[in-house]
Amino acid sequence: MGLIRRKVHTNHGAKKPEDFVKLPNHVAIIMDGNGRWAKKHRLNVAMGHRQGVETLREIIRHTDDLGIKSLSIYAFSTENWNRSPEEVGALMQLILDFFASEIDELDEKNVRILILGDKNGLPDKQRDALMEAERRTGDNTGLNLNIAVNYGGRAELTRAARELAAEAAAGKIAPDDIDEKMLADHLYTRGQGDVDLMIRTSGEMRLSNFLLYQCAYAEFLFPTVLWPDFRVSDYDDALTAYGGRERRFGKRL
Ligand code: IPE
Ligand code: IPE
Ligand code: MG
């Protein structure tokens, strides 16, 4: 069975910005359920991931159409290295394919790509492709598309701690200068603000080490649909549900 290519530009029924009472500035998505989708369709797990990329293309487009400022997606965690070499290899190949096929359109749409995670821990080809995507789109001013590859929230915080310690040891800052803002400025997402809405598909209800610091006050949604089956309409439903959430940030409203 081949890849199910969907017509992406015929988003009939997709919502427009004015259809929402409020939209998040920063959406994060844990794309989960590719393996279960493949199993359900008696396909190799790699096919589940390939189909997942099709969903991702649509979701990025719709996020851009809605004018949402930042989208952070979890593509490969520091823990995903523990999967079989075949599956890791398939995911690495998909990362290359994704950038090769999407970069022109994303750049044309003024999307700025930022990689969250340790690029140096990736094979050379992947590292080079990710660095090139960041370089090419670095001055773009549209959607911030953050793609987490070889990313872990704890690794990100550890790295920030190490950088701050080095600055303190070099006498550039005093330990007492370190505040939440300075710490946030040492995260990959610096300058982009906290996650407003975190979506994880497939019904799993956990963070799996994604954006630990940035999700302190995020609203969470856990649609049960598997990622390859997640449609723009499901995304619109999640965004509508977000609009109905009362965010208190500790205050009594
Ligand atoms: C998420 O899908 C994609 C990645 C981890 C890259 P999974 O492969 O985790 O799907 P399930 O959880 O096995 O269904
Ligand atoms: C989180 O999903 C990582 C990505 C979606 C890239 P996992 O499927 O790897 O997480 P766990 O193992 O179920 O927590
Ligand atoms: Mg999973």
d(CA 86, CA 22): 43
* Per-residue pLDDT at 49: 98
* Per-residue pLDDT at 195: 98
* Per-residue pLDDT at 253: 87
**Tens digit of each residue's pLDDT (9 = 90 or more) over 106-152:** 999 999 999 999 999 999 999 999 999 999 999 999 999 999 999 99
Bridge partner residues of 29 (DSSP): 73, 199
- Per cent of the chain over pLDDT 90 is 94
Residue in 29, 36, 98, 210 to alter for ligand 1 test, most ligand atoms within 8 A of Cβ:
36
Q: What is the DSSP letter of 200?
A: E
Residue in 29, 32, 91 to alter for ligand 1 test, most ligand atoms within 8 A of Cβ:
32
**Tens digit of each residue's pLDDT (9 = 90 or more) over 4-45:** 666 555 567 899 999 999 999 999 999 999 999 999 999 999
How many angstroms separate the alpha carbon of residue 101 from the centre of ligand 3? 25
CB 154 within 8 A of CB 160: no
d(CA 114, CA 89): 22
Report residue 191 as tokens: 């300058």
Q: What is the DSSP letter of 194?
A: -
Residues comprising the chain, all counted: 253
With a 6 Å cutoff on the Cβ, whether 76 touches ligand 1 is: yes
